[in-house]
Each structure stands twice: as structure tokens, then as C-alpha cells.
Amino acid sequence: MTNALIEDLQWRGLLYQQTDAEGMEKLLNEESVSLYVGVDPTADSMHIGHIVPLLTLRRFQQAGHRPVLLVGGATGMIGDPSGRSSERNLLNAEQINQNVAGLKAQMERIFDFGEGETGAILVNNYDWVGEMSVIDFLRDYGKLVNVNYLLAKDTIASRLETGISFTEFAYTILQGLDFNHLYDHHNVRIQVGGSDQWGNITTGLEIIRKTHDEETKAFGITIPLVTKADGTKFGKTAGGAVWLDAVKTSPYEFYQFWVNTADADVIKYLKIFTFLTREEIEALEVAVQEEPHLRKAQKTLASEMTKLIHGEAGLQQAERITAALFSGDLKALSVDEMKVAFAGVPSVELAKEDQNIVDLIVEAGISSSKRQAREDVTNGAISINGEKVTELDYTVDAKDRLDDAFAIIRRGKKKYHMVKFN
């Protein structure tokens, strides 16, 4: 009998590889199981490329299974060679601990950590790897994994020409012993990971098989790499990665990333990233085909993702900034929201002194000449902090300096500039 959850994952395009698909479906039909995803704390925040396995694990939680979230306090000190052509920079214990705290806070937004049977558990592999001696590691685990077996792994084979240290060569064994530890101590039966984790997952299954006399019921699932319809990399903008941390990527920027999704990608992303039902997504698919100009699917995607990661307050801020920029009514925004909204616009630094509007917009490079500046002002093309300026003798002074530090000047309908005063 096909498992309803597996069927849903297939419809959403979230299944790439499975070990013993039939056995795993049978297990999921018969009992509530524990599954895990591992995240190495190489930074103090995840970006959106990291969260697909986590969101997939959340789907298992909603279906009555327990998620075990592993933060790699130990493996993060080593570095996963998967998908890399060179060695990672090693982090110290203080950096790792700081990063672990950041990742934990983000995971708590995605999962229910309640007391019930399906409440998520957070574990740190430093708790069992950190106390292990080199002799114990080599004797108890290194002995189980043949070198030829490791050399056949794509992640290792791809690095043989450029070189790989023994440290990274041994990484897959460390992750394998994690699976074995969780199998023994948390009854974890399934590991979920991105497509680049297949080699690490199967190493875990090999170690579990060799350390248990009884017939083991452990399985692995990988998720396909998320791509864009035009072939470019998902999750990147001109400014870099889209982070879950509100300081690195503001809720407004986060919202804008999703709302700008192409029609060709939006239904695929709704399936992968949101928890909307099949019926809701299919209705939005019709809207994309029949009313693409309304961008209902994109707005829904942006709303669902921003609320999930930044909460209702973050979503409201993002929507308020979006509406203000669309209407040009900047007076609806707080000073802090102004800073967020215009963080990426062209900016210039000027002396903090009272100045005629014509002189200021020429000095700031907003208008190309004094003649052009006078035309722009008299034609109503210049606004300061959302207030239109039409008088040629207008003086820009303290009343126009937000936080006594900056002003937002708009020329025309959409050309914004930030003038910083020092």
C-alpha cells in the first residue's frame, strides 16, 4: 500500500533517491518513526538553499513522525567535502558554538519542539564524538569501512585529482557514526538529506548494518537539487545568498526574493517550500495561466515563506514596505523601515549642513545639472522622504534628516537615492 506522505513528496518533486523504497513505505505505514537531518554550523545562519531537507522533515512531523535535528558541533570542525573542490577553512570551538546557537533559533521557527511523541529533538554530535579518542574512532568505526568503498564515493573520487586531506576523507565515517548513534539512542530509522549527501547516508547505513547483529530497518532519502527554469542557480541574488537571519537578509528583502519568482518556477517552489495543500497549489497554477498579471501565486509564496521564517510581524513589515514603495507613500514607514527598504539603493555622503534643494540634488548626482535640477523640482519630479518638493528656494535642513543622518530622495516615479549626512 502506497504511503500517503511518500505519494505527496513525489507529487512535490521532493524524492530523488531512496534505499529500499518498498521497505521504507511499509515501515511508515506500520509505525511512527524518528528521522533526522544534519546541518553543520559553518555559519551562524542558514540560507534558503539549506532548508529544503528541513521542510521535508517537517512534513514527516505533520504526518505523525518525530524529527531529530542534528547540529554538527563535531563535524562542523572538520568540513564536509561534498560539493566542494577545495578544503574548507577550519572553525574554532567558539565560532562553532556561536553558529550552533544561531541555527537552533532558526530551527525553532520551522519545527514544533513540543513534549508529545512527535515533538522535535535537537542534538549536537559533539556530545558523542567530542569525547571519543582517536584509538576508539579507528578501532570501532574506521575498521568497519573499507578504503576502496570510500574511494568509490563521488564526493571523494571527485577530489582525488585536486587533493583531499585525511581529515575530509574521514568525514563520511563521522557522519555515518552519527546515524548509528541516533539509531541506537533515539531509534532514528531514516536519514533525510540533499542529493549531495547520498554517499554520507549510505556510509551510515553500512555502519549500522555492521554494528548490529539483528536485521536492521534503516533507510535513506535524498532530495533533488532545487534549480530555476532558466538554468541559473537557485537562492542567489545580485547581493548574494538569501539568508534566514533577518540581519543578513531583512524580512522585506526575503519577501521580495520570493515575490519576484518567475512564472515558470513559482508552482514548483510552492510545492517544495510551502505547506499549502495540493488543491490550493493547483488553484494557484490556474491563476498563473489565466491571470498572470495578478501574480497571486508569487504573493502567496512570498507570504507563506516570510511568515514561516520571520513570523507574522516580519511579514507585516515586508508587506508594509512593499505597499509604501509601490504607492510612493513613504510617510507610512518608520525610520527603521526606511533604512531596510532603501538599503540597496544608490547612496552618497554629503556634509550635514542646510542646503538649497537644487544644489543638493546636483551635488548628490540625482540630477545631472542645475538646469535639469530646476526642471525636476518645478515639474514635481523630486520628493524628500515621500513629500513632494516643488519650490526652487526649498532648503533641505534638520527637518528632512531622518535620525539626523539620512534622507530618501526620489526622482521621477521609481528612482530612489539615499543621501547620508555626516
In three-state secondary structure terms, 131 is: coil
Q: What is the mean pLDDT of the chain?
A: 89
- Which position has the grid cell 531622518? 402
> Is 175 a known ligand-binding residue?
yes
pLDDT digits (tens, 9 = 90+) for 289-314: 999 999 999 999 999 999 999 999 99
What number of helices (H) and strands (E) belong to the chain?
18, 15
- Assess whether pLDDT exceeds 50 at residue 75: yes
- Which position has the grid cell 532530495? 223
> Is 36 a known ligand-binding residue?
yes
Structural domains of the chain sorted by starting position, each given as residue range(s) with its CATH number in brackets: 4-222 (3.40.50.620), 236-331 (1.10.240.10), 347-421 (3.10.290.10)
pLDDT digits (tens, 9 = 90+) for 147-166: 887 888 777 887 777 788 88
pLDDT of the residue at 115 = 85
pLDDT of the residue at 222 = 96
Most confident of 59-68, 248-257, 340-349, 397-406: 59-68
Most confident of 160-174, 176-190, 242-256: 176-190
- Report, as an integer, the average pLDDT of 95-105: 87
Q: How far apart are CA 199 and CA 195, in angstroms?
A: 9
- Report, as an integer, the average pLDDT of 220-232: 89
Which of 90-94, 285-289, 323-327 shows the lowest per-residue confidence on average (mean pLDDT)? 90-94
pLDDT digits (tens, 9 = 90+) for 364-378: 999 999 999 999 999
pLDDT of the residue at 316 = 92
- Assess whether pLDDT exceeds 70 at residue 86: no
- Report, as an integer, the average pLDDT of 253-274: 95
- Report, as an integer, the average pLDDT of 407-414: 87
| Predicted confidence band of residue 262 (pLDDT cuts 50, 70, 90) | very high
All three cell numbers of 168, joined, read 575530509
pLDDT of the residue at 24 = 93
Q: Given the DSSP bridges, would you call strands 236-237 and 240-241 parallel, antiparallel or unpaired?
A: antiparallel
pLDDT of the residue at 239 = 67
| Predicted confidence band of residue 386 (pLDDT cuts 50, 70, 90) | confident
- Assess whether pLDDT exceeds 60 at residue 110: yes
pLDDT of the residue at 164 = 80
- Assess whether pLDDT exceeds 70 at residue 2: no
Report which of 351, 316, 353, 321 is spatially closest to residue 336, judged by C-alpha positions: 321
pLDDT of the residue at 235 = 78
- Report, as an integer, the average pLDDT of 200-215: 88
- Report, as an integer, the average pLDDT of 169-178: 88
Q: How far apart are CA 26 and CA 33, in angstroms?
A: 12
| % the chain with pLDDT above 90 | 58
pLDDT of the residue at 85 = 46
> Is 141 a known ligand-binding residue?
no
| Predicted confidence band of residue 130 (pLDDT cuts 50, 70, 90) | confident
Burial class of 147 by CB neighbour count within 10 A (0 to 12, 13 to 18, 19+): exposed
> Is 317 a known ligand-binding residue?
no
- Assess whether pLDDT exceeds 60 at residue 84: no
Element holding 283 (H helix, E strand): helix 278-290
Q: How far apart are CA 257 and CA 305, in angstroms?
A: 10
Q: How far apart are CA 251 and CA 305, in angstroms?
A: 10
- What strands lie across the sheet with 347-350, from one edge to the other? 347-350, 415-421, 406-411, 382-384, 387-389
Segment 407-414 long-range contacts (CB within 8 Å, at least 24 positions apart): 408/330, 408/338, 408/342, 408/345, 408/384, 409/361, 409/364, 409/366, 409/382, 409/383, 409/384, 410/328, 410/382, 410/383, 410/386, 411/361, 411/366, 411/367, 411/376, 411/381, 411/382, 412/381, 413/328
| Predicted confidence band of residue 238 (pLDDT cuts 50, 70, 90) | low
| % the chain with pLDDT above 70 | 96
Amino acid letter at 225?
A: L
pLDDT of the residue at 87 = 52
